[in-house]
Amino acid sequence: MIHNFNYHRATTVQESLSLLEKFKEDYKIICGGQSLLILMRQGLVAPENLVDIKSVKEMSYIDYDPKKGLKIGAATTHREIEKSPEIKKNYPVLVEMEENLASVQTRNWGTIGGNLAHGDPASDPAPILIAMTATVKLANTNGERSLLLEDFFVDIFETALEEGELLIEIQVPVPLKKSAVAYEKFNIIKNHQGIVSVAASITMAEDGIGCKDARIVLGAAAATPLRAGEAEQMLIGKKIDTKLLASVGKKASEECDPVSDIHATETYRRALVKALTIKIMKKAWEQAKTSGRVGGKHT
């Protein structure tokens, strides 16, 4: 049963921020509400004030600039991202991720900002955006600040958003040459939340042989989306081969900190991290060698 609340609809960012400022003590922000409403129906979340930002048009946009990169308004729906020709062309792996996120119905109404602000360690877009070095823009009535997305996630269902603060934009840099991002979510029922997920980016050195930079980001493998830093380090400056990837996968599985639940034990999650990391790194590596774009060829 949904408990009583006071409903406030904002139509501009400014109006949203004023409302947040006003209800500092007790509010929840709703946009698509695809996660929030479930919690509210279970009575787990019962805010005094519900601030609705779904109608804030100025927060719903997809901007791509070949020099500055990609900007996505936080109130942009998953479906808009999935269907964006710009994103499909320049960041195809984002489209791939979206296509496997929940259901069409959820993507039609749910938003990218809502997903990230929910702080779920099993978030679909988080690992891949972190792998792409995405930043988020947060605002309150006093101004704006930018944060690397990897620093946005603090703990399970907890983010860096402070009281009165709103996530307004997600920024993804221009893909580097000789780089690629790949992603896979493991689940039993397609489009269900991942039991674990792995996103990886690789940037090859000028010579096309050595690895210049690498990012490995794990979903549902710790309290937050997690960068497997030690595993990444094993790659940098090295020539990649399958043997190295095997030890990188092993390292990632040691670095993560997954839970045991009804869907998988901790041991199994670690095994999955290992298997997926090897597979995804290999995919990213192969694409990076041949492509100048993030995600390489859309597979």
Contact positions vs other proteins (CB under 8 A): 1-7, 9, 30, 33-34, 37-38, 41-42, 50, 52, 54, 79, 99, 102-106, 108-109, 186, 188-193, 262-265, 268, 271-272, 275-276, 278-279
Tell the residue number behind the tokens 């307004």, with chain if given: 168
Please identify, using beta-carbon distances, which residue of 87 and 276 lies nearer to other proteins: 276
- Whole-number Å distance between alpha carbons of 129 and 86: 16
- Whole-number Å distance between alpha carbons of 132 and 215: 8
CB of 113 to other proteins, least distance (A): 15
CB of 189 to other proteins, least distance (A): 5
Please identify, using beta-carbon distances, which residue of 5 and 64 lies nearer to other proteins: 5
Give the dihedral of Cα atoms 276, 122, 104, 63; nearest 10 deg.
-90
Question: Which residue, among 218, 230, 234, has the nearest Cα to 270 in the 3D structure?
Answer: 218
Residue 243: CA count within 13 A, CB half-sphere? 2
Please identify, using beta-carbon distances, which residue of 41 and 239 lies nearer to other proteins: 41
Question: Which residue, among 82, 67, 78, 81, has the nearest Cα to 32 in the 3D structure?
Answer: 78
- Whole-number Å distance between alpha carbons of 162 and 158: 10
Residue 6: CA count within 13 A, CB half-sphere? 10
CB of 272 to other proteins, least distance (A): 6
Going by C-beta distance under 8 Å and a sequence separation of 6 or more, which residues neighbour residue 19? 8, 10, 27, 49, 51
Tell the residue number behind the tokens 């210049």, with chain if given: 212
As a residue count, the chain comes to 299
CB of 103 to other proteins, least distance (A): 2
Question: Which residue, among 84, 87, 76, 90, has the nearest Cα to 31 in the 3D structure?
Answer: 76
Tokens (6 digits) for 63: 């901007």
Please identify, using beta-carbon distances, which residue of 33 and 175 lies nearer to other proteins: 33
CB of 270 to other proteins, least distance (A): 11
CB of 135 to other proteins, least distance (A): 29
CB of 55 to other proteins, least distance (A): 8
